[in-house]
Amino acid sequence: MAKVMMKGNEAMALAAIKGGCRAFFGYPITPQSELPEYLARHMHKYGGVFLQAESEVAAINMVYGASGAGARVMTSSSSPGIALKQEGISYIAGAELPAVIINVMRGGPGLGGIQPSQADYKQVTRGGGNGDYYVLAFAPENLQETVNIIKESFDLADLYRNPVMIAVDGLIGQMMEPVDLDVEISKKDLPEKTWATTGTDGKRPPVNVNSLFLDAQDLENHSFKLDKKYKLIKENEQRYEFVNMDNPELVIVAYGTMSRIVRSALEILNNEGIKVGLLRPISIWPFPEKAFNELPDSVKGILTCELSTGQMVDDVKIANDGKLPVGFFGRTGGMVPEPEEIVQAVKDMLRGLK
C-alpha cells in the first residue's frame, strides 16, 4: 500500500486493527480521543468489538476479561487515565494476560494539562500498579515507527503473555504524517491460548484466569517466574537507535518527540563543527542498557533530554554505571523546546567538561 496522510491517533487505531486487534474498551480523554472515535467508526467492519466504558477503571477490567477469554484486545488513554488503569494493568500482568495499552502522554501531575509530555516515564517503566511486575514499553518517535510497533505489539503481548504499552505523547497523537499501514511485520511463532476461558466445551478441565496466591510461598514462586520472564524480555527486546556516532564528543539520550527535536539540534551543532551523537531508546522498558557499552571512546559526557524534569536520568545513570558525567536538559508541563535550547544545553555541558 502507498503511504497515506493520517492523523497520529487515527493511524494508531488502524494499526491496531491491522495487528489483529478485535476488541477495544476505552474512555475518552484528550489528547487521544480520535483513537477510540476511529475504532467506533471502523471496528465493526472487521468483526471486532468497540465499547466505550463508564470509566478507565472499567475499561481496563473489560480488557482483562476479554483477554482472559482469548481475544486480541487493546485500550488507550492519556496520563491521568493511565493512572486510573494501573490497578487493572497490575492484575493483567499478575494473571499473565496479553494486552496492548496506548498512552498518549500529557502533562501532570494530577489533571495537569493537555499538551505533550514525557512525565509518565516512571509510571510506565516501573510497573505503575502494585507488585513485582513490568510492562513492555515502547516510545517511538514518528508515525511510521509507531504503527509498526503497534502491529508487532499484539504478537509480543501474546508471546510473553504480558501487557505491552506504547508511550507516545500528545504531539505524536495529534500530528499528521505520511504512513504505510501495510509494512510487513515478521510474524512470531505463537503458542495456542490453552489458558483462555472459552468454556470447557466438555473437552478439557476448567481453566482459571487469576492473580491470587494466598500462600506466600506460591506467590514468591509466581513472582520469581514472572521475574524470569522479565529477564528474558530484557535480553531480547532492548531496542535503540544511534544517530551521528562518528566520534562524537557528547551523546544525547532522548526518545519520542524529544528525539525529533534533538535531531534538529544535531544539524545545527554539526554545522558549527560540534560533534554530538544521539542514543535514542525505542524500548524504555526494558531500557536499552546494552547500547551504553557501545559508546565510542571519543564520548566525554552524556546529556539526557526529556519532556519532563528528568525522569529518565536514573536509568541513564544506571546504564552508564558511573563511567561518564551525566547532564540533563528538559522542558515539562507541556512546553516543547526549540532546537536552539538543546544546542545551548550541549554547549553549556561541553564547557563544563573542559
Partner 1 sequence: MGKVVFKRSEGLSKKEFSYCPGCTHGIIHRLVAEVIEELGIIDKTIGISPVGCSVMNYEFFNCDMQQAAHGRAPAVATGIKRVRPDNIVFSYQGDGDLASIGTAEIIHAAHRSENITVIFVNNAIYGMTGGQMAPTTLIGQKTTTSPYGREEKHAGKPIKMSELLATIPGASFIERVSVHDPAHVRKAKKAIKKAFEVQVEGKGFSLVELISTCPVNWGKTPQDALNWAKENMIPYYPLGNFRTPEEDGKND
The contact set with partner 1 (CB under 8 A) reads 22-23, 25, 49, 51, 53-55, 57-59, 61-71, 73, 87-88, 91, 95, 197-202, 206-212, 214
Contacts of 261 (CB under 8 A, 6+ apart): 254, 305, 336, 337, 338, 339, 342
Measured from the CB atom, the residue of 215 and 272 that comes closer to partner 1 is 215
Query: Nearer Cβ to partner 1, position 7 or 222?
Result: 222
- Min CB(129)–partner 1 separation in Å: 10
Q: What is the DSSP string of 62-123?
A: HHHHHHHTT--EEEEE-HHHHHHHHHHHHHHHHTT--EEEEEEEB--STT--SSB--TTHHH
166 with 103: CB under 8 angstroms? yes
CA distance 26 to 60: 8
- Nearer to partner 1 by C-beta: 54 or 189? 54
**Residue with Cβ nearer partner 1 (203 or 351):** 203
- The CB-of-211 to partner 1 minimum distance in angstroms stands at 7
Amino acid at 51: L
Q: Rg for the chain (alpha carbons), in Å? A: 21
For partner 1, which is the closer residue by CB, 49 or 175? 49
Whole-angstrom distance, CA of residue 23 vs CA of residue 130: 26
Q: How far apart are CA 103 and CA 183, in angstroms?
A: 23
**How do strand 276-281 and strand 240-243 relate by DSSP bridges?**
antiparallel
CB of 286 to partner 1, least distance (A): 27
Provide CB contacts within 8 A for 220, sequence distance 6+. Answer: none
Least separation in angstroms between CB 150 and partner 1: 20
Closer CB to partner 1, 201 or 246, in the complex: 201
Least distance in angstroms from the C-beta of 92 to partner 1: 10
Residue 4 vs 212, nearer CB to partner 1: 212
Q: Is 37 exposed, middle or buried (0-12, 13-18, 19+ CB in 10 A)?
A: middle
**Residue 152 Cβ, how far from partner 1 at the closest point, in Å?**
22
Residue 60 beta carbon to partner 1: minimum distance, rounded to whole angstroms: 8
